[in-house]
A and B are shown apart, each in its own frame.
Chain A
């Protein structure tokens, strides 16, 4: 299979290695949506952790597919079907390189992180879990990395065990280790917390889970837009992420899984069609990834994701990462100057997110006032109610950053918060 031959291809080389920080700042112009006014003020978009914006190159690639190339994939001998198939499978190969997977058949296109996790919970969980077994999670998980496990545990008699977090919002490593046992069959955790921004030590966690004999799934939804992902270096068994959090379209995401596990897992959507047309019992390489892609896929979405990966490959990663770190540092410094601010999540390693409370002002009121200042933030529990419970708060306001944000955006956020303080004084 082509993907095997491709497995030795090096990581994508950046076209501007050693690029300057000012070059990163100029990338903002690639995002047409940012050039508009909200409530009469220039838009400041600080909600990328909910959904990031798309660069023009991605929008163009999708329009091109829709206007010139669309047909169903893997079906026809005609030109358009072949073009669509080539672009769709080309996107799969781009994803493989993006996360440094060994083979492109280890890349399964899904609707997003949520579906990826449901796939593993249902398919592998249903096969592997028995009464008395445990699935170890962390308290900082997004609901989409909790509920699928609860559902399969209800069916199998296994149980979900949460590993606690510290007051800073980091995973409590000794507690995590103490919860690993022979009963632990699956360990699932986020790479980066969507509510706190905490970066988890995924290699270390994976090694410890493997030592206990467990299978490891990583929810990479918030890591994909900020970090370099290397599934082989981490050695995780599964890695899930969404296109729309990393500047691509919605409705498309990825499940990476190691070949030997994917081959032995039953199909997720077990409609007859896939099983009849694919020789499932043979469990050959050729059965993957299609065994897990029932029905016509989101072709344009996958191609958009491929274009997003191309776009990111054109940006020097080290420069982008340094720029983002500096911006997060600046945002944190400016925010803590405000009276009565409380930052929720003060991990030493963070990416892209500052969650906070301001005085006694409810997060939704902050969100509305900021919106009228042209500043978009997320407010609420961020689909992470156990995190809110941990900090004994109902909700936070969350500013999340991407490389298209800058210091002016931070200043506008701070101005808006000052206005909220005046309002509720």
Chain B
């Protein structure tokens, strides 16, 4: 498999073509804008909570295939999870994207999200994949209303 095919796996291309959970959420408990100042990509994340559970999550914005697919995969996976499960998942995905922690049991657990691991070979693209994850973490933890990959 070439590096490119590893980066743009079928799952990524599919979620880019048809992003899941795309659009605004009204009303939302948390609205967070994530910006990658390097390239101007931005994603707005809408989260509706039910107690400590993510009842619904949607996103809007412009970005490359990696960024859109990552947002789409993230919302698909997070929807219905508890806040602590979501934050645990953030750590695992972040580790996969930046540190290359791809122990088979981790990848198994990540499931479809493991498709994002191809960005490791493209350092300039890691932030494309991590933007919406940072936004999610901020939405579930912080009072800030914006997040940056810088």
Binding site for B on A (CB under 8 A): 39, 361-365, 368-369, 372, 379-381, 385, 388, 394-395, 423-424
Contact = CB atoms under 8 A, between A and B. Distances in A.
A388 B62 CA distance: 13
A385 B40 contact: yes
Interface stretch (B1-9, B79-87, B88-96, B138-146): B1-9
Given A362-B68, A365-B64, A380-B38, 19 more contacts: A361-B65, A362-B62, A362-B63, A362-B65, A362-B67, A364-B41, A368-B122, A368-B124, A369-B4, A372-B4, A379-B39, A380-B40, A388-B40, A394-B40, A394-B41, A394-B62, A394-B63, A424-B13, A424-B65
B20 interface: no
A194 B63 CA distance: 22
Interface of B: 2-4, 7-8, 13, 16, 38-41, 62-68, 122, 124-125, 128
CB-CB nearest 8 A-B residue pairs:
A362-B64, A364-B64, A394-B62, A381-B40, A380-B39, A365-B65, A365-B64, A372-B4
Given A364-B125, A365-B64, A395 B40 contact: yes
A184 to B, nearest CB: 30
A361 B3 CA distance: 18
A362 B64 CA distance: 5
Contacts of B64: 362-365
B128 to A, nearest CB: 7
Contact of B39 (A39, A361, A381, A423): A381
Nearest to B7: A368
Contacts of A363: 64
A262 B20 CA distance: 59
- Most chain A Cβ neighbours within 10 Å, of B40, B63, B125: B40
A39 B65 CA distance: 21
Nearest to A372: B4
B130 to A, nearest CB: 14
Contacts of B62: 362, 394
- Interface core residue of B2, B39, B128 (most chain A CB under 10 Å): B39
B148 to A, nearest CB: 16
A381 B3 CA distance: 26
A98 to B, nearest CB: 34
7 contacts: A364-B39, A364-B64, A364-B128, A365-B64, A368-B4, A372-B4, A394-B63
B89 to A, nearest CB: 25
B4 A395 contact: no
A378 to B, nearest CB: 11
A365 B40 contact: no
B127 to A, nearest CB: 10
Contacts of A395: 39-40
B4 A423 contact: yes
A385 B67 CA distance: 20
Contacts of B65: 361-362, 365, 424
Contacts of A372: 2-4
A314 B43 CA distance: 51
Contacts of B2: 372
A363 B125 CA distance: 12
Given A381-B40, A385-B40, A394-B40, A368 B63 contact: no
Nearest to A382: B40
B115 to A, nearest CB: 15
B147 to A, nearest CB: 18
A11 B59 CA distance: 59
Nearest to A419: B4
Instruction: Choose among B2, B40, B64, B67 the residue with the greatest number of A CB atoms under 10 Å from its CB.
Output: B64
Contacts of A385: 40
B124 to A, nearest CB: 8
Select the residue from B4, B8, B41, B122 with max chain A CB neighbours within 10 A: B4
A423 B65 CA distance: 11
Nearest to A425: B13
A363 B62 CA distance: 11
A423 B17 CA distance: 12
A365 B2 CA distance: 15
Nearest to B65: A365
Nearest to A388: B40
Nearest to B16: A424
A369 B38 CA distance: 19
A194 B51 CA distance: 51
